[in-house]
Amino acid sequence: MIKLPITRFLLFFVAIGILVSCGEEKKKRQLSLPKTDLKTVSIIPLPQKVIATETGFALDKFSAIFTTETANGFAEVGAFLSEKIQGKTNLDIAVNSVQNDSLEGIIYINRSDSLELETPESYQLYIRSDSIIINSNSAAGAFRAVQTLRQLIPETANDTLADYPIWAIPTGKIVDAPSLAYRGAMLDVARHFFSVADVKKFIDVLAYYKYNGLHLHLSDDQGWRIEIKSWPKLTEIGASTEVGGESGGFYTQEDFKEIVAYAKKHHMMIIPEIDMPGHTNAASVSYPILNGNGKTLKPYEGTRVGFSTFDTRKDTVYAFIDDVVREIAEISPSPYFHIGGDESHVTKKKDYIHFVEKVEKIVQKHEKRMIGWDEIGTADVDSSSISQFWSSTENAKLAVAKGMQIIMSPAKKAYLDMQYDSLSKHGLHWAAFIPVDTAYNWSPKAYEGIPEKNILGLEAPLWSETISTISELEYLAFPRAIGYAELGWTPKELRNWDTYKKRLADQEYYLKRMNVNYYESALVPWKDE
Ligand code: TNX
């Protein structure tokens, strides 16, 4: 194997070499490739611009991937693509090395300064019959392009073109960029705990649809789920419970780092949430000094909300929070720290406001931006903090008045734990039933008068009162989370339920191959009925 220090200059010669050495053989293959049309392939989220040129690129054992090697992360994106091609086709495609004399069909992942690439996640994907070129100004953009490319590889090879299998990728040009900067999901690992392996599997699917964040709800009345070395009883005691009396669990700091690293490989960030001053029964059971509701503490494994609170007037409480935020911030590279702040029904209003303002300072001291559920808008918080709109338009508007950014998660539209319909096996319906079309047919940039300029992104929360296995998690998440991916990425003018539902139906090949459970809603024209 020859190791080549690839530069764009050198690539040019490699390409010329290929043209000369395998010109004849190649011409034959190009001519015989069936006509395919880039416009008819089901891509989700739908890219901004797709131009089809109606020939095919042959992905086969002669293909190779080359990447810019001088810019951060590009070689890793190449390795990721090779790994995923292997998973789908069994082809072993070399990255940044020449493996085969008759090398042809290069996929080049290139860092570009083109002004057309306006955001770090923007990309261009040029597919020609002899090469594929991805341009982006950051590895994140290249990674998003790779997800598009994965969706263009047919499920099955064509075995009649040559005596080896060929996957014909339709040629053309895709120019793409996200509509919203933040596109996230949330998983509640507090009501029911989910293992590192479960979280990784969830990340795999979210990344395929170009999500860039996963928010983990790490504490609630029913359980504390992350190791805090300076307060060990949080996990010794607080992690042992779960809704329904099951066994609970928690992430060690090493586990958390493993999740963060896995997310990073998928160009996603993990946003940690410690919910307070309410939703804190598990913390107060572990350390009763934190408790502010004046009642005798006992472990809680039901599904009520709003009965617990920290004592907002005690210095120890803030010393505790400082330790928790510090330890998590040290292992969490995301710029954000989520403090919860929802449904603190037994905290007096003035105490709640005092608390949020103090905790904001702690979060800032540890160099993170605070995110909180929309109730935090009632406190005097900084414009750099972020409000997550789940329930109250009034609270969201208070945040807008302070110049804060908003993450859109309106429960009536975006809650993954809402039942699809009255027959749904899992889920709640306090906010609404959310069928697959309702989940898709709204616009996070134009909702209840929140100005577009304040909207940072869209997040779909999955609360886990009614689910305890990965299969149940997937039943609620999919296919709705695929629609939220499109709401976050594709501009409104290009979204249309009738064309989307057909593209959604085609996702069953991927979901089945990945062993991902989903709700077979009758609203979607699935192929295999
Ligand atoms: C409301 S949404 C909650 C959660 C529940 C969820 C169930 C929010 C900020 N608080 O504590 O799990 O409803 O749908």
- What is the distance between the alpha carbons of residues 360 and 356, in angstroms, rounded to a whole number? 6
- Closest ligand 1 atom to residue 465 Cα is 12
- What is the distance between the alpha carbons of residues 236 and 283, in angstroms, rounded to a whole number? 11
SS (H, E, C) 106-167: EEEEEECCCCCCCCCCCEEEEECCCEEEEEECCHHHHHHHHHHHHHHCCCCCECCCCCCCEE
Q: How far is CA 415 from the centre of its chain?
A: 15
Say if strands 123-127 and 167-176 run parallel, antiparallel, or are unpaired.
antiparallel
Q: What's the whole-model pTM score?
A: 0.94
Atom 8 of ligand 1, residue of closest alpha carbon: 342
Residue 35 token pair = 């006509």
- Closest ligand 1 atom to residue 418 Cα is 14
pLDDT tens digits, one per residue of 81-122: 999 999 999 999 999 997 765 456 899 999 999 989 999 999
d(CA 463, ligand 1 centre) in Å = 7
| Substitution site in 188, 191, 305 for ligand 1 pocket (most atoms within 8 Å of beta carbon) | 305
The reported pLDDT for the residue numbered 69 is: 92
Asked if the model's pLDDT at residue 289 lies above 50, the reply is yes
- Closest ligand 1 atom to residue 431 Cα is 14
- Closest ligand 1 atom to residue 391 Cα is 2
Asked if the model's pLDDT at residue 16 lies above 70, the reply is no
* Residue 113 CB neighbour total at 10 angstroms: 7
Mean pLDDT throughout 357-385?
A: 98
Atom 9 of ligand 1, residue of closest alpha carbon: 342
3-class state of residue 187 by DSSP: strand
Q: Where do the H-state alpha helices sit in 450-496?
A: 470-477, 480-489
Atom 2 of ligand 1, residue of closest alpha carbon: 390
d(CA 364, ligand 1 centre) in Å = 26
Atom 6 of ligand 1, residue of closest alpha carbon: 463
Percentage of the chain beyond pLDDT 90 is: 88
Ligand 1 pocket at CB < 6 A: 305, 342-343, 373, 390, 415, 417, 428, 463, 465
pLDDT tens digits, one per residue of 207-251: 999 999 999 999 999 999 999 999 999 999 999 999 999 889 999
Residue 287 token pair = 């350390």
d(CA 339, ligand 1 centre) in Å = 14
- Closest ligand 1 atom to residue 279 Cα is 11
